Amino acid sequence: MNVARKPPFLEELERRVLVCDGAMGTMLYARGVFLNRSFDELNLTQPELVADVHHAYVRAGADVIETNTFGANRVKLSAFGLAARTAEINVHGAQLARRAARDAYVAGSIGPLGVRIEPWGKTGVDEAQAHFAEQAAALLEGGVDLFVLETFRDLNEIGAAIRAVRSVCSLPIVAQVTTEDDGNTLDGAAPDLFVPELERQGADVVGLNCSVGPAAMLETLERISRVARVRLSAQPNAGRPREVEGRNLYLCSPEYMASYARRFVNAGVRLVGGCCGTTPDHIKQIRLAVRAAKPAAARPVDAASSPAPVAAQPVVPRAERSRMAHALARGTFVVSIELPPPRGHRTEELLDAVRQLRIRGVDLVNIPDGPRASGRMSALATALLVQQAGLETILHYTCRDRNLLGMQSDLLGAQSMGIRNLLIVTGDPPVIGDYPDATAVFDVDSIGLTNVVSRLNRGIDIGSQPIGAPTAFHIGVAANPGALNLDDEVRRFRYKVEAGAEFAITQPVFEVGALAGFLDRVADVRIPVLAAILPLASLRHAEFMANEVPGVNVPDIVLDRMREADAAGRAADEGIAIAREVIAGIRPLVQGLQITTAAGAIESALDVLETAAT
């Protein structure tokens, strides 16, 4: 379906600067399409609306128009119940653009999947590549001339997309990442890292789009031009959005965008257009600006600005990272007591409890991070106070409340403050906690964050940049021997160990057989395990744990014993007796204990401590 007299895209790009179109979503929203709809589905349900946008950009002078398929991958479409129509939506999207293009090139638009992939998320790189290949094949069937991979933040993911396109055709690939004002990708990769990597993966054109306006993008493009060996592209937003009468508006004028288009060309850009907030009026002015601009000659690559890939630093030996790590490496049995952070800012009771635990010979204090999605003092601040009071801590760190960059910042701070033992958990959803309307991030899960910490321990951050001396974290993860889907729990445990986990703490154990069965299934990837022990304080406490706490399995026999004890007025004593029996049964199976108590009261923990120490 390609126009015969039109030269190949890359050949034309060598000859002159080409103008790409602007935002599709902005134009559809302006025409009354709600943001909660699938814009990609409009290729089937309102094709004339999509075609009108394409025609407007062609009339404005665009040399390249992108298909309305940015989110038309199976993963994103499944959220709208459209996964089965993935191929159809992409084929029609390409055909709509093809009919509107006239002499313009048609670029198949492919955006991120919308989920984290390995090593940060649960989706495998091979799965991601299969999703991208499905979309690319459908766009190819619809008649595209090239592919634009855009708004990617993760080099692993855009690499999978490049390989996917290459698996179905040899058409040109424009690979665009999205960056912050500092020029690094949203995941922290610097231009001198991501540009060579995109070239190595097979991109024909490398560039930037979205997130920032033209001024910040120009600074990054000037850095890119010093290391790039291929042609460059730029599609900035029309500035940062501003809220005006309840609506987010992009306020950069067409003339302002055009003035920067000329500067882009001077920096070596050969494909220039716009992203969020840009309209046909912007593209018209950009077209006029670049028509009068002379394409910059290719600059020689500055070898000094193209550093070799970052080499991992030697990992600090495990036994040297913390007292806990040293003890487990020697085979010494360890005991931890869980102390939740206070609900307010006063810490007298917490520190008094720490003093009592020190006297009784407890090895560690385990600090949960927002347990059960509650609002409490920072777990990191609490851990620092506890360590200053003389007891080493295990800091829980949940993925719920922070994005990937925020997590890395916290962890680097924790290292500097002497926190070494981490328990990495995905985290309870806010809906079960004190603030059910609070939002959750879940940028990565516990497996992804374990990968992050493992990289920090090798001196490399999430953007593959060096951090200097490596961190020395002792990496722990959670395990649930009583999980309803034990196969899934075993599979995830194996992934955690593969990612770098060095010890595990279980959910509260009430049944020796369940723990023994779980440990048998993970014997080939065994790491030191601390079994969590929870002395039940009352029948109500037992019923609450059995029915309202995700991931905890309280057997019927335990509930029956607590009912009988409650009727006799000795429920708390029975809870301690059950805890002691469990300890006696599991002690030969594990390398330590974590004693958890209701409401953080340490009296019952101290009551069972004598059993733990024998």
What pLDDT digit, counting tens, does each position of 89-133 carry?
999 999 999 999 999 999 999 999 999 998 888 899 999 999 999
Residue 28 has pLDDT above 70, yes or no: yes
User: Sorting pLDDT into bands at 50, 70 and 90, what band is 317?
Assistant: very high
Place of tokens 């991501």: 194
Residue partners of 577: CB distance under 8 A and separation at least 6 = none
Domain interval for residue 411: 318-613
Among 239, 270, 299, residue at a domain's last position: 299
User: Sorting pLDDT into bands at 50, 70 and 90, what band is 310?
Assistant: low
Residue 3 has pLDDT above 70, yes or no: no
Residue 346 sits in the same domain as residue 269? no
**pLDDT (0 to 100) of residue 361:** 86
> Containing H/E element for 233?
strand 231-235
In angstroms, rounded to a whole number, what is the distance separating the alpha carbons of residues 499 and 308? 25
Residue 601 has pLDDT above 90, yes or no: no
Radius of gyration of the chain (CA): 29
Residue 343 has pLDDT above 90, yes or no: no
Residue 220 sits in the same domain as residue 350? no
Cβ(23)–Cβ(17) below 8 Å: no
Query: What tens digit of pLDDT does each residue of 466-479 get?
Result: 899 999 999 999 99
Query: What tens digit of pLDDT does each residue of 175-224 get?
Result: 999 999 999 998 889 999 999 999 999 999 999 999 899 999 999 999 99
Place of tokens 């850009």: 269
Residue 535 sits in the same domain as residue 470? yes
Residue 291 sits in the same domain as residue 328? no
Among candidate residues 308, 326, 315, the one with its CA nearest the CA of residue 455: 315
Residue 65 sits in the same domain as residue 208? yes
Residue 295 sits in the same domain as residue 323? no
Residue 2 has pLDDT above 80, yes or no: no
Place of tokens 């939740």: 340
Residue 324 sits in the same domain as residue 289? no
Residue 302 has pLDDT above 70, yes or no: no
Task: Give the pair of three-digit tokens for residue 567.
Answer: 């009727």
For the chain, percent of residues with pLDDT exceeding 90: 73
What is the pLDDT averaged over residues 153-163? 96
**pLDDT (0 to 100) of residue 293:** 72
Task: Say which amino acid occupies 468.
Answer: G
What is the DSSP secondary structure assignment for residue 491, as one 8-state letter?
A: H
**pLDDT (0 to 100) of residue 128:** 97
Task: Say which amino acid occupies 107.
Answer: A
Residue 293 sits in the same domain as residue 365? no
Among candidate residues 544, 450, 446, the one with its CA nearest the CA of residue 500: 450
Going from the C-alpha of 364 to that of each of 357, 361, 509, 530, 576, the distances in angstroms are 9, 9, 19, 12, 21
**pLDDT (0 to 100) of residue 597:** 76
Cβ(504)–Cβ(480) below 8 Å: no
Residue 43 sits in the same domain as residue 135? yes
- pLDDT, mean over the chain: 90
What is the pLDDT averaged over residues 241-269? 81
Q: Give the range among 186-190, 270-274, 381-385 with minimum mean pLDDT.
A: 186-190
Residue 370 has pLDDT above 60, yes or no: yes
Task: Give the pair of three-digit tokens for residue 428.
Answer: 């309870």
In angstroms, rounded to a whole number, what is the distance separating the alpha carbons of residues 443 and 255? 38
Residue 440 sits in the same domain as residue 514? yes
Cβ(66)–Cβ(111) below 8 Å: no
**pLDDT (0 to 100) of residue 1:** 44
In angstroms, rounded to a whole number, what is the distance separating the alpha carbons of residues 260 and 249? 20
Q: Which of residues 121 and 167 earns the better pLDDT score?
A: 167
What is the pLDDT averaged over residues 383-404? 92
Residue 206 sits in the same domain as residue 339? no
User: Sorting pLDDT into bands at 50, 70 and 90, what band is 413?
Assistant: very high
User: Sorting pLDDT into bands at 50, 70 and 90, what band is 269?
Assistant: very high
Peptide bond into 436 cis (omega under 30): no
Among candidate residues 553, 454, 563, the one with its CA nearest the CA of residue 512: 553
Task: Give the pair of three-digit tokens for residue 240.
Answer: 């940062």
Domain assignment present for residue 501? The answer is yes
**pLDDT (0 to 100) of residue 321:** 96
Residue partners of 376: CB distance under 8 A and separation at least 6 = 340, 341, 342, 343, 370
> Containing H/E element for 564?
helix 556-567
Residue 258 sits in the same domain as residue 377? no
Residue 146 has pLDDT above 50, yes or no: yes
Residue 31 has pLDDT above 80, yes or no: yes
Domain assignment present for residue 313? The answer is no
Q: How many structural domains does the chain have?
A: 2
Domain assignment present for residue 9? The answer is no
**pLDDT (0 to 100) of residue 8:** 96
Q: How many CB atoms lie within 10 A of CB 450?
A: 25
- Tell me, what CATH number does 220's domain have? 3.20.20.330
**pLDDT (0 to 100) of residue 118:** 87
- Tell me, what CATH number does 416's domain have? 3.20.20.220
Among 299, 332, 352, residue at a domain's last position: 299
Domain assignment present for residue 11? The answer is no
Domain assignment present for residue 352? The answer is yes
**pLDDT (0 to 100) of residue 611:** 60
Q: What own/partner pairs with CB < 8 Å and gap ≥ 24 does 561-566 have?
A: 562/536, 562/538, 563/539, 565/539, 566/538, 566/539
Domain assignment present for residue 306? The answer is no
- Beta strands (DSSP E) in 92-160 are 105-110, 146-152
Cβ(472)–Cβ(457) below 8 Å: yes
Q: Which of residues 5 and 152 earns the better pLDDT score?
A: 152
Residue 147 has pLDDT above 60, yes or no: yes
Q: Which of residues 406 and 326 earns the better pLDDT score?
A: 326
Among 272, 299, 326, residue at a domain's last position: 299
Taking the model in full, what pTM does it have? 0.79
Residue 244 has pLDDT above 60, yes or no: no
Cβ(110)–Cβ(135) below 8 Å: yes
User: Sorting pLDDT into bands at 50, 70 and 90, what band is 607?
Assistant: confident
Domain assignment present for residue 305? The answer is no
Residue 88 has pLDDT above 80, yes or no: yes
Residue 157 has pLDDT above 80, yes or no: yes
User: Sorting pLDDT into bands at 50, 70 and 90, what band is 403?
Assistant: confident
Cβ(298)–Cβ(268) below 8 Å: yes
Q: Which of residues 374 and 198 earns the better pLDDT score?
A: 198
For the chain, percent of residues with pLDDT exceeding 70: 91
Number of alpha helices (DSSP H) and beta strands (DSSP E) in the chain: 23, 18
Q: Which of residues 107 and 359 earns the better pLDDT score?
A: 107
Domain assignment present for residue 137? The answer is yes
Among candidate residues 470, 409, 412, the one with its CA nearest the CA of residue 443: 409
What is the sign, positive or negative, of the torsion defined by CA atoms of 116, 121, 123, 125? positive
What is the pLDDT averaged over residues 241-259? 74
